[in-house]
Chains A and B, each alone.
Chain A
Amino acid sequence: MTVSATITSGKKKLKVVGTRPVRPDGVPKVTGLARYGADYSLPGMLWGKILRSPHAHARIRSIDTSKAQALAGVKAVMTSADLPEQKFEYVGPERVAVNFWHMTRGIMAREKVLYEGHAVAAVAATSRTVADEALRLIKIDYELLPHVINVEEAMQPDAPLLFEDMITRGVEPAPDKPSNISKRIEFKIGDLGAGFAAADEIVEGAFRTAPVHQGYIEPQACLARFDADGQAELWASSQGHFVIRALTARLLGMDIGNLRVHPAEIGGGFGGKNVPYVEPVALALSRKTGHPVKIVLSREEVFKACGPAAGSLMTVKIGVTKDGRIVAADGVFRFQAGAFPGSPVMNACMCAFAPYDIPNVCSVGYDVICNRPKTAAYRAPGAPISAYAVESVMDMAAASIGMDPLQFRLKNVARPGTPTVWGPKHAHEGYAETIQALLQHPGYAAPLGKNQGRGVAAGYWFNNGGESSAAAHVNEDGTVVVATGSADLSGTRAAMALMAAETLGIDYDKVRPIVADTASIGFSGLAAGSRTTFATGIAVVEACRKVIGELRARAAMIWDVRAEDVAWEDGCAKRTGDNAGGVEPLSLKAIAAKRSVTGGPISAEVSVNAGGVAPGFATEYCDVEVDPETGAVKILRFVAAQDVGRAIHPAYVEGQIQGGVAQGIGWALNEEYIYDEAGRLANAGFLDYRVPVASDLPRIEAVLVEVPNPNHPFGVKGVGEANIVPSLAAVANAVSRAIGRRMTELPMSPPTVLAALDSERGG
């Protein structure tokens, strides 16, 4: 269902953008021919396997690899000694800062192992069987240390410390004792005290979420090849082969230019594949052996060692007037970072109250280290977690004054000019339109039955712009290749082809979009942050416009007129000006045929650092039914309205919304990391890490609201992430209303819901 809101200027009707053609990489994907990270091979290839710590926290006294080295078929054994040490410093913008001293220790442990599953050594051997055997022959002497997992315990003054010299950043004056709190951040506007003093009702709650995993079905995998002349290649599935190249080169101490990364198809990322895990290890092993090395992680390794999402402990307090104005909001967000600093708690603080116009806000965040793998991004990282707490309290606030939850949000909606807690003012419409779309939705007024509840929630995500490159090459027969450096996670090649075809005025199937490797296109940032259709789309359109400029010049040459007298329309050069009449247009194909006599190949490449990003807003409602005897929750209906700017390929935009909501439902109901007392993961597989299966979910209704972004040639706003942000709270608010008790912990697995029901019933 597409609801078109504000229409932009009198642009003429679009021909291909907004249609639903088959994606260009579709046939290989339905026939098994598409090649993902684990599907590449080279002659003489060795199998790499990683040895991992069985302990949650231990000092490494010694590593003896001699027996493993001696095993027939083993060509190399590596430890952290095979990777250069890195300087301890945080580099880059605070929100996404990187510290290579931490990163190299994440790739392979040095002084200590900091979580069960932490990589400590690796082997390369002639077969998987030999590699497995070799791992068993590596002897490591560990000195066990006490461990700590959850946020609350890790923050205690007497908690076991992962880094004995960690002093909390962001606190003035700095603490004199070390702790596991790597950072404190604070955002503030207005006067909180005055705000709460003016409130008629104050509602607050404390909330807890368990850690979860992105759950991509494809484990990390790569093939690496390091030749004797120092030239190296990687075939890897990732969300950004340029970023993987840069990070991997740094971790190996080699020039970026000596490493070429080929983007394999990627079987799901959701943020979890923004960073390397296996690539530096495979490359180091290849460097040691002189042979290509392939590493494919097992599902258990993925759960134990590849950046899951944070668990949290949060408190939120909101003050409202009786006519529904939010006058004050206060949130404290404590996030697990895992073994190294860098949870997305800053995002959580910034996005928490962003959908609202509130004059007095304070958001405080704590980034807390614990004996788990370092968290990685997971779809709007941090925002769904803080939204769970905030949107739950918003629900409580609306109920406390007897207001409909959608009307409550509409009354306080952020609009252009509304300040954000981190400084800039909102610049885009869209949020109100998503609320309106739900208010008009026929299901919203539908009556509910026994044991049923309806939950509403809203959410904000920054989206992202940034660096992208694109090239357009006109082939001799008038077909066009469009190359970008953006990994295609879910159909963006189709969007690139649609935007290129629209801009050039040619048929969709005359455009071949490809994802080029790092040596074949300019730098492109991650396919993350909902940026690809936006930023890479801008680069594609600009490259096509340059090509159009060149095509007009060629036509001018053919017609012997000035370029100013040539327009480009419907895929053809057309004469304008005084002698226009009667001259047949020149198609792209015709101009291409004459390229060698008019100046040679027709081609353009563009690199952009895209600004003018519009954020994502989504508002959702969810109907649930709770089994009063077991606490089982059934999702009856889920409707998600998101402002997508303009849907280039509506089917894939709907798919993003449906997928994000499905992940949110799993996060809300059944997904969690379960640790034993020794800090080991008890559910490192899909049997007991419970993602939704097909029979768990209903149809998910995606309502596409289109309020075009004026800063993109087609009005695009990033779509991938905003949809998950409200989904946890939508389910939690629905369950809370169904049972008459606020659910303050995720996941709301049946025992938790039954316990809440029993408390409510006085049992």
Chain B
Amino acid sequence: MREMRYEAPRTLEAALALLSAPNGQARVLAGGTDLLIGLRAGRDVPELLVDIKGIPEMTSIVAENGGFRFGAAVTCMELIEHEGFAKAWPGVIDAVKLIGSIQVKGRATVGGNLCNASPAADSVPALIAAEASVSIAGPNGNREARVEECARGPGETSLARGELVSSILLPPRLPHSGDAYLRFTPRTEMDIAVVGAGVNLTLDDSGVCRQARVSLGAVAERALLVPEAAAALIGSKVDAAALRRLAAAASAACRPIDDKRGTKEFRIKIAGVMARRAAEIALARSLSQRAADKLLGG
């Protein structure tokens, strides 16, 4: 611990050089809300901390090709306060709002939430449902990946040594769409999700669901994309019967563990409930968007 060093590079290239340096182990410091707890517990103490918060493209939020790209070091509060993003992706914002307290959100980043790879990370199911992708910078150049490809298991990502998630991209929003994220916790705030559910859906002009994505968190070794749950909604008006099928599919997809935050049985039950409730909110949002579009002659 006493030999640990700190660097704060100003460019992505400089950060990559530090992360892939042959001697010693380096770790990325973004918000530090997971890292500092690990350091305090003596877990995975690296020789070098690479603070990426000074790199412009990692801390910016920009509109891109009709969608949004935000840097991996953008804090939760910054994303929440971005009106344009919040309007387009209220479900992602639902999720980001649940990452710890206001104090934690003032530091924590979505990139960190993703790369810490907790199966219960709140932002991940919402991003998966939104069909978000990530830009990964590395010693061998850049690559893109879907958010659902990033985490492999608890604390494990698919990133190679020396790679760094630089930004997260949300695609353009289709008309008549809405997303939502709900999680179950024993208290109203401050808990790790026992189950998280992200739902994103798109309706056509007659109110029939044409596209949907459903993702569950905290019910497997990583967040799951659940195509069977989405299939329950597609082609329906998201009525009670479709929602029942969605809930059943969500419960069936779970492969949770027993831990101090919830039992297997409880998680399986609640997954169905949360998925259904999130779908109801996503539906309401897509309907009100559709109503708004109609008013504007869209």
Contacts and interface: CB of A to CB of B under 8 A. Distances in A.
Pairing of A with B: yes
Interface of A: 129, 132-133, 629-630, 632, 669-670, 674, 682-683, 687-688, 690, 692-693, 695-696, 749-751, 754
A129 B1 contact: yes
A690 B192 CA distance: 11
B31 to A, nearest CB: 16
A688 B266 CA distance: 17
Contacts of A688: 192, 260-261
B121 to A, nearest CB: 14
A695 B261 contact: no
Contact of B190 (A683, A693, A754): A693
Interface in B39-92: none
8 contacts: A630-B270, A688-B192, A690-B187, A750-B184, A750-B266, A751-B262, A751-B263, A754-B266
Contacts, number: 47
A573 to B, nearest CB: 57
B292 to A, nearest CB: 31
Interface string B182-207: 00101111111000000000000000
B245 interface: no
Contacts of B186: 632, 669-670, 690, 749-750
Contacts of A690: 186-187, 190-191
A616 to B, nearest CB: 29
A683 B273 contact: no
A749 B270 CA distance: 14
B266 A682 contact: no
4 A-B pairs closest in CB distance: A695-B188, A751-B266, A629-B273, A682-B260
Contacts of A129: 1-2
B244 interface: no
Interface string B234-278: 000000000000000000000000001111011001100100000
Interface of B: 1-2, 184, 186-192, 260-263, 265-266, 269-270, 273
B267 to A, nearest CB: 9
Given A751-B266, A754-B269, A687 B1 contact: no
A683 B186 CA distance: 15
Contact of B189 (A132, A670, A674, A695): A695
Contacts of A692: 187
B266 to A, nearest CB: 4
A630 B184 contact: yes
Contact of A674 (B260, B266, B273): B260
B122 to A, nearest CB: 14
Given A630-B273, A693-B190, 13 more contacts: A133-B2, A630-B270, A688-B192, A690-B186, A690-B187, A690-B190, A693-B187, A695-B188, A696-B187, A749-B186, A751-B262, A751-B265, A751-B266
A670 B187 contact: yes
A50 to B, nearest CB: 16
Contacts of B188: 693, 695-696
Contacts of B187: 670, 690, 692-693, 695-696
Contacts of A629: 273
A693 B189 contact: yes
Contacts of A682: 260
Contacts of B184: 630, 632, 750
A750 B191 CA distance: 13
A669 B186 CA distance: 9
B120 to A, nearest CB: 12
B230 to A, nearest CB: 22
Most chain B CB within a 10 A radius of its CB, from A669, A682, A688 = A688
A685 to B, nearest CB: 9
A20 B206 CA distance: 64
A531 to B, nearest CB: 33
B1 to A, nearest CB: 7
A682 B270 CA distance: 23
Contacts of A687: 190-192
A630 B187 CA distance: 12
Task: Identify which of B188, B191, B263 gathers the most chain A CB atoms within 10 Å of its CB.
Answer: B188
Contacts of A750: 184, 186, 266
Contacts of A751: 262-263, 265-266
Contacts of B265: 751
A683 B259 CA distance: 11
Contacts of A683: 260
Nearest to B40: A298
Nearest to A697: B188
A50 B68 CA distance: 51
Contacts of B191: 687, 690
Nearest to A695: B188
**Residue of B2, B187, B265 contacting most chain A CB atoms (<10 Å):** B187
Contacts of A669: 186
B66 to A, nearest CB: 37
B116 to A, nearest CB: 14
B260 to A, nearest CB: 5
B224 to A, nearest CB: 20
Contacts of B2: 129, 133
A748 to B, nearest CB: 10
B276 to A, nearest CB: 9
Contacts of A693: 187-190
Most buried by B among A132, A632, A692, A751: A751
B181 to A, nearest CB: 16
A398 B190 CA distance: 38
A674 to B, nearest CB: 5
A687 B260 CA distance: 11
Contacts of B192: 687-688
A751 B273 CA distance: 14
B149 to A, nearest CB: 28
A209 to B, nearest CB: 17
A308 to B, nearest CB: 17
A681 B187 CA distance: 21
A367 B99 CA distance: 43
Contacts of B269: 754
A169 B260 CA distance: 37
Nearest to A298: B40
Nearest to B266: A751
Nearest to B192: A687
A133 B42 CA distance: 11
A749 B265 CA distance: 14
Contacts of B273: 629-630
Contacts of B1: 129, 132
A632 B269 CA distance: 13
A687 B99 CA distance: 12
Contacts of A630: 184, 270, 273
Contacts of B261: 688
A366 to B, nearest CB: 28
Contacts of A132: 1
B241 to A, nearest CB: 18
A687 B41 CA distance: 15
A693 B191 CA distance: 10
A246 to B, nearest CB: 36
A630 B266 CA distance: 9
Nearest to B191: A690
A302 to B, nearest CB: 15
Nearest to A683: B260
B160 to A, nearest CB: 31
A690 B261 CA distance: 11
